[in-house]
Amino acid sequence: MHEDMVSGARHSSAVDTLRLLLVDDYRMVTEALASRLSAAPDLWVAGCCSTDDPRLPDIVRWLRPDVILIEVEPLGSAVAEVLHRLRAAWPSARVIVVSADGDISHAVDAARAGADAWVSKKQAADQLETVLRGVANGHSWFPPSMLGEILRQLRGDVRRATESSDLLGSLSPRELDVMISMAEGKPGHQIAADLMISADTVRTHTRSIFSKLDVHSRLEAVSVARAAGLRTSRQHAGSERPLGERALGEPTSGGRTGRERAFGERTGRERALGERTGREHAAAGQCSGPPSS
């Protein structure tokens, strides 16, 4: 994890500041972006880390960011799994995917996994700032050229769920266990360990789930199952926001944004820690995070 790039004076002011976490494998790019964003009085880069950092979920829980910016090219097909883990680690955080990838199917997967925005690397920094502030206030943003297909795919997920009178009832008890685990973002080996079954058995149940739900991927299965009423243990405990809670571009219900909720949960100790960290690292011009365990 890099060192913190913050301004101590910012935290002692009355400005309502957005806490940001930047996730990117290229340190020079990350530090340049952190420097640019930190120039805004209402943005604070609380930390930076790489996509392959094994402590990423712990870092998210420790920093409690309002918005996470993550560059997804290094993740390949693991984008959805990583986004699910980010959302599970700190559910109130908004997630912005930053990518040079123009593949609409990847944007659809990101939307299914709960991404609030998909921003091209070609966009100017001031446009990124606009998306950041909008997402923090409960809005979403995807490129207009992608939005039509994304909405069609998500509507298809809902249609498949509503066309069956008892979609989840068609799953066996063990298949339902596997389905819930997939919805919680767990990889196959963890599902096998948690349910005390073999990885081959998990794959067999997964194929059966795909067939019964008429889907072709884990993301589709999770999206359809949630539309049909599936709730995970985290959701029952109130720690995970259901996928599709908000329509694209719509504010959250109750008029309270994720940013307001996150700031409401911060304790005086965390504010004091943030001020101290800012004073200690402002001169260094680098990004920081939780100490290694």
Burial string for 127-136 (b: 16+ CB within 10 Å, else e) reads ebbebbbbbb
Q: Are 130 and 259 contained in the same domain?
A: yes
Q: What is the pLDDT of residues 12-23, one digit of tens each?
A: 344 589 999 999
The reported pLDDT for the residue numbered 161 is 67
Residue 109: which pLDDT band, with cuts at 50, 70 and 90?
A: confident
Q: Are 218 and 258 contained in the same domain?
A: no
Q: Are 127 and 252 contained in the same domain?
A: yes
Mean pLDDT along residues 126-141 = 94
Mean pLDDT along residues 79-95 = 86
Coil, strand or helix at 11? helix
Contacts of range 210-217, beta carbons closer than 8 Å, 24 or more positions apart: 212/167, 212/170, 212/171, 212/175, 213/160, 213/167, 214/160, 215/160, 217/109
Q: Which position has the higher pLDDT, 6 or 147?
A: 147
Q: Are 188 and 228 contained in the same domain?
A: yes
- How many structural domains compose the chain? 2
> Does 63 fall in a domain?
yes
Q: How far apart are CA 82 and CA 75, in angstroms?
A: 8
> Does 219 fall in a domain?
yes
Q: Are 136 and 156 contained in the same domain?
A: no
The reported pLDDT for the residue numbered 141 is 93
Mean pLDDT along residues 83-108 = 88
Q: Which domain holds residue 180?
A: 152-233
Q: Are 104 and 136 contained in the same domain?
A: yes
Q: Are 179 and 264 contained in the same domain?
A: no
Q: How far apart are CA 240 and CA 123, in angstroms?
A: 31
The CATH number for 114's domain is 3.40.50.2300
Report percent pLDDT > 90 for the chain: 38
Q: Are 262 and 126 contained in the same domain?
A: yes
Q: What is the pLDDT of residues 48-79, one digit of tens each?
A: 999 888 899 999 999 999 999 998 876 666 77
> Does 23 fall in a domain?
yes
Q: Are 50 and 71 contained in the same domain?
A: yes
pLDDT of 83 over the 70 cut: yes
> Does 214 fall in a domain?
yes
> Does 243 fall in a domain?
no
Q: Are 34 and 131 contained in the same domain?
A: yes
Which DSSP category does 250 fall into?
A: P
Q: Are 116 and 187 contained in the same domain?
A: no
The reported pLDDT for the residue numbered 34 is 93
The reported pLDDT for the residue numbered 110 is 87
Q: Are 132 and 210 contained in the same domain?
A: no
Q: What is the pLDDT of residues 179-236, one digit of tens each?
A: 999 988 888 999 999 999 999 999 999 999 998 888 888 888 888 888 888 877 655 4
> Does 118 fall in a domain?
yes
Q: What is the pLDDT of residues 242-291, one digit of tens each?
A: 333 333 333 333 444 443 443 444 444 344 444 434 433 432 344 644 44
The Cα angle at residue 83 between residues 58 and 97, in degrees rounded to 5: 115
> Does 112 fall in a domain?
yes
- Pair 89, 57: CB distance under 8 Å: yes
> Does 32 fall in a domain?
yes
Q: What is the pTM of this model?
A: 0.59
The reported pLDDT for the residue numbered 287 is 61
The reported pLDDT for the residue numbered 201 is 92
The CATH number for 200's domain is 1.10.10.10
Q: How far apart are CA 1 and CA 277, in angstroms?
A: 15
Token duo for residue 174 = 């063990």
Neighbours of 42 (CB within 10 A): 14
